[in-house]
Chain A
Amino acid sequence: MKVVEADGFNFCFTDAIEAFIFDGKDHGAPMKRVDIIAEFESAYIYVEIKDYENYSLQDTSSNLKEDDNSCQQKHFKWLKEYLKYKFRDSHLYRYAERKVDKPVYYICLICRENPLNSRLQKSLKQELPVGKASPRWVDPLAKACHVVNLEEWNKNFPNWPVTRLNQSTERREN
């Protein structure tokens, strides 16, 4: 079992070969990185976390007010771009490491309401993109992408339980 603590959450990957914080140290390259990568026998999982139930951890691009509709739209677009480029840069980084030898699944743990996550997921699937975007591609960049909240994560991935830690938790690799 591999345990990782990141951004106020504890992840237990019970069947992982390896699991580590990818965004936690200076890797020397000017690239965005997803929060966690976990390796399994048949796949890599990239995990990005956004906790909207804890605004102190929120990484926003500007001073956006949640009750402003146009600001919400701007924030949606910003978040989508943020998640997209995190994935792509991470994937390039892993390519340079020669660590893209298994299908890659991208899971965004976004702690807020389900249906808004659905909209985000749809946009991400189109723009990452998921699957083989061109007939010239031999492999897809991402095999699948899902945006889930904490409840959905634990319901759908019982072998990878996630719990919320105290807000003061510091990042730690196990």
Chain B
Amino acid sequence: MITHLELKNFMAFTDVKIDFSPKINVIIGKNGTGKTHLLKAAYFLSGVAPLFKNNSHISDKELVKELASALTPELLRLFLPLDAKLNKMRHHGGSAKATLEAHFAHDQQIAVSFSTRSKSLEIKIKDRNSWEQYQSKPVFFPTKEVLSFMEGFNSLYQMYQVSFDQTYQDICLLLDLPQIRPENLHEKSKWAMEELKAICGGRFIFYGGGKVTFRTEDSEYSANSIAEGFRKAGMLYRLLETGALQPGVSGSLLWDEPESNMNPKLMKSLVTILLELSRNGQQVILATHDYVLLKWFDLLMDEKSKGDHILFHTLYREPETMEIRLSSTEDYLDIKPNPIDDAFGDLIDQDIEKDMGGLGK
């Protein structure tokens, strides 16, 4: 579980620090304020733990070298910078090193950095023993659903340079895992899967190799003939079914714009599921533009009797410097600035203008 992230001179950020809730984190901000970059950076650093697994016999120096050779191409595939160069991920206008640093729940820390001429990442780690014991993998749920193009995607991605970042291959690989043994399936996962099945009116069947169909009680259909919103719900179902997402066991769930392609009516169910998973040990970090999603979290959270905890994080540009800043709050009404709420305000203003004409002005 990630507890803290710092990004310096990296992509859109000059210096941003964020403390995460162990339960639910909702990131908002206008386009171009770095929501997806922040999610990807958290995902990248959270994904380091499994690299320690088979390296317990080597020295610290060798380990750092191993990590650098594994992580450098991974960072490039995640962010797809111009010319596939690390330097192109540095924040414009400075000569300082770009640094990404994360802290985790068991006191593990990692910092990766690169400068103008770096060919490889410079890695610093703290508490190696703790890293070796903590092997949870994070899950990144990208904006686009993948069930419609999953068949053959992995082979295509490995062979050719396609315009998808690494998160798409990662999610396809997770969805193609076999089902987790029934005895290992968390009770809340079972419950969430039933909820998702009810939403979709059936379930997606994964045959391996990315072949996916949709089955109802009496028929089977191509996954491509099913609504995109349902395909997204189907992805969540499958992540639970494979155990890639397992409350209390899996790493953080990082979800970029859950609302895309989903009918607003589905948001209440989705938020209910995410809250329930978080109550059972699943850390959730999501970025959204959607008022409905944001507000359902506020309305459905139950701090007193269910111990819910939500942090709302806003990314915004400081007017004077245009640098990106972040503010966090536990209180929905204290989210400032809140571009989602502002957009509703603009609609109201236009409505009044249309009805009232010049009255009161």
Where the two chains meet, the residues of A that have a C-beta atom closer than 8 Å to any C-beta of B are 40, 42-43, 45, 69, 105, 113-115, 117-118, 143-144, 146, 148, 152, 155-160
A152 touches B359 (CB 8 A): no
Q: Is B144 an interface residue (CB 8 A)?
A: no
Q: Are A159 and B360 in contact (CB under 8 A)?
A: yes
- Which residues of B does A touch, CB under 8 Å? 291, 295, 299, 333, 341, 344-345, 347-349, 351-353, 355-356, 359-361
Task: Write out the residue numbers on chain A whose beta carbons fall within 8 Å of the beta carbon of B299.
Answer: 69
CA distance A155 to B360 in the complex (A): 10
Give Cα A42–Cα B357 distance, bound, in whole angstroms: 11
B351/A146 in contact, CB under 8 A: yes
Cα–Cα, bound, A85→B349 (Å): 26
Q: What number of A-B contacts does a CB cutoff of 8 Å give?
A: 50
- CB<8 Å pairs between A and B, sample of 28: A42-B359, A43-B359, A45-B359, A69-B299, A105-B356, A113-B333, A114-B348, A115-B291, A115-B295, A115-B341, A117-B348, A118-B347, A144-B355, A144-B356, A146-B348, A146-B351, A146-B352, A148-B348, A152-B352, A155-B349, A156-B349, A156-B353, A157-B360, A157-B361, A158-B360, A158-B361, A159-B361, A160-B360
Q: Which residues of B contact A156 (CB under 8 A)?
A: 349, 352-353, 356, 360-361
Of all chain A residues, which has the CB nearest B360?
A157
Q: Which residues of A contact B333 (CB under 8 A)?
A: 113
Query: Which one of B348, B356, B360, B361 lies within 8 Å of A118 (CB-CB)?
Result: B348
Nearest A residue to B304 via CB reads A67
Question: Within the complex, what minimum Cβ distance (angstroms) separates A41 from chain B?
Answer: 10
B-chain residues with CB within 8 Å of residue A115 when the two chains form the complex: 291, 295, 341, 344
Task: For B361, list chain A residues within 8 Å (CB).
Answer: 156-159
Sorted nearest first, the 6 A-B pairs with minimum C-beta distance are A157-B360, A144-B355, A156-B352, A160-B360, A115-B344, A159-B360
